[in-house]
Amino acid sequence: MHVIDHTKGQPSENETRNVLTESARIARGKISDLAQLSAAHHDAAIFPGGFGAAKNLSTFAVDGKDCRVHADVERVLREFHAAGKPIGLCCIAPVLAAKVLRGVEVTVGHEQEEGGKWPYAGTAEAIKALGAKHCVKGVTEAHVDQKNKVVTTPAFMCETALHHIHDGIGVMVKKVLELCGK
């Protein structure tokens, strides 16, 4: 959608980036276009959150509960779900599952801002409006929807020390792997 200069917290003027190119830069490894992802070749899918999930993988940042999910993201979520394979989502990414997988249980943390500790707490209401169940969890926890094999954790939805966010993401990954039988 646009590039943010995180040193200023504002959009950068006249700068563009390509999601696939940025993914390759961050991953430092072999990547492929999401259009090529097939549940038949993988044990699970994990979606990181952040502004990319809200602005590039969906239109949630602009449209809230009326958002659209990128066609390949929707396909992947439905495909892994239909195959009974685990899906992990962190930070804002649980809204993707809430939009695509009706009745799913997810967490984005707490439902009240609590003096700024949970600045995006309103997201829980959007999740409920999408027909999903929001489960209150702390930043170091993950929620496991056993029926749908969906694991979520709040991550950066909480203003806290980075090591707490790391711990919660680690719990999410561990739970996804457990659902895979690994």
How far CA 153 is from CA of 41, 123, 138, 145, 164, in Å, comes to 25, 13, 8, 12, 11
* Residue type, position 4, single letter: I
Residue 142 has pLDDT above 80, yes or no: yes
The string of pLDDT tens digits covering residues 85-141 is 999 999 999 999 999 999 999 999 999 999 999 999 999 999 999 999 999 999 999
Superfamily classification of domain 35-179: Class I glutamine amidotransferase (GATase) domain (3.40.50.880)
- Report the C-alpha dihedral over residues 67, 174, 178, 84, rounded to 10 degrees: 10
How far CA 181 is from CA of 38, 85, 151, in Å, comes to 19, 11, 14
Residue 38 has pLDDT above 80, yes or no: yes
pTM of the entire predicted model: 0.92
Residue extents of the structural domains in the chain: 35-179
The predicted pLDDT at position 154 comes to 98
In sequence order, the β-bridge partners of residue 10 are 5
**Which residue in the block uniquely carries the two structure tokens 């804002």?**
92
Active site residues: 91
The string of pLDDT tens digits covering residues 154-168 is 999 999 999 999 999
Helix (H), strand (E), coil (C) string for 37-55:
CCHHHCCCEEECCCHHHHH
* Residue type, position 18, single letter: N
The predicted pLDDT at position 20 comes to 83
